[in-house]
Amino acid sequence: MASGRNHDRATALWSLPWGLVVALVLGWQAGLIAAASFLIGGLWLSPDLDTRSLALRRWGALQWLWWPYRTLLPHRSFWSHGPVIGTLLRLLVLLGWAGLVMALLPGRSIAELPQALLQGIRRHPAPALALLLSLEASVWLHLLLDGDPWPSEWRGQHRR
């Protein structure tokens, strides 16, 4: 299993090549979004947010946002380190906090958030695809560096 610093170095190393590949397929704007999303996914939205990690410390004063996530999920579980599901869960946590903030703003409704997100995806499909694929790609890099991309539940083993 790689250390947090090794995860960070690999994320930084692979973000530009990943962005270039996406740029060749989806255009330069999507490539820039892909490189940035890969970095954000690896450095701030890491599967290791379920522990006291470098990724968690990067949130600074906002670390508390991840307290429910850390409390409810065992480390390297299907829910935190599972392909696709882990990324979706971390995005849902962020969207939940964003929805709460929106609900507290005068004249805003939490129901506007999903509608606005879907509208943005429909209007800008290539950048949205680049963002989502890049967040997931950074997670796959993390899982591969850990030496086993499959959560322990999928192997019938339970790690501590």
Rounded distance between C-alpha atoms, residue 115 and residue 125, angstroms? 15
Residue 157 forms part of a structural domain: no
Q: State pLDDT tens for residues 122-156.
A: 999 999 999 999 999 999 998 888 876 665 555 55
Rounded distance between C-alpha atoms, residue 102 and residue 111, angstroms? 9
Helix (H) / strand (E) containing 50: none
Listed range (76-85, 106-115, 117-126) with the worst mean pLDDT: 106-115
Residue 115 forms part of a structural domain: yes
Closest CA to 140 of 6, 38, 20: 38
Length of the chain: 160
Residue 104 forms part of a structural domain: yes
The pLDDT-based confidence of 106 (bands split at 50, 70, 90) is confident
* Whether the Cβ atoms of residue 50 and residue 75 lie closer than 8 Å to each other: yes
Rounded distance between C-alpha atoms, residue 155 and residue 140, angstroms? 17
Number of independent structural domains in the chain: 1
* Whether the Cβ atoms of residue 53 and residue 42 lie closer than 8 Å to each other: no
Two tokens at 43? 């450095």
Write down the pLDDT at residue 64.
95
Q: State pLDDT tens for residues 3-38.
A: 667 878 888 888 999 999 999 999 999 999 999 999
User: Is the full-model pTM beyond 0.95?
Assistant: no
Residue 160 forms part of a structural domain: no
First to last CA, the chain: 13
Q: State pLDDT tens for residues 40-82.
A: 999 999 888 888 888 899 999 999 999 999 999 887 777 887 8
Residue 87 forms part of a structural domain: yes
Closest CA to 76 of 148, 130, 22: 148
pLDDT (mean) for 76-99? 87
Residue 159 forms part of a structural domain: no
Closest CA to 11 of 52, 58, 51: 58
Write down the pLDDT at residue 154.
56
Q: Is the pLDDT of residue 87 over 80?
A: yes
Residue 156 forms part of a structural domain: no
* Whether the Cβ atoms of residue 32 and residue 23 lie closer than 8 Å to each other: yes
Name the residue range of residue 144's domain. 4-151
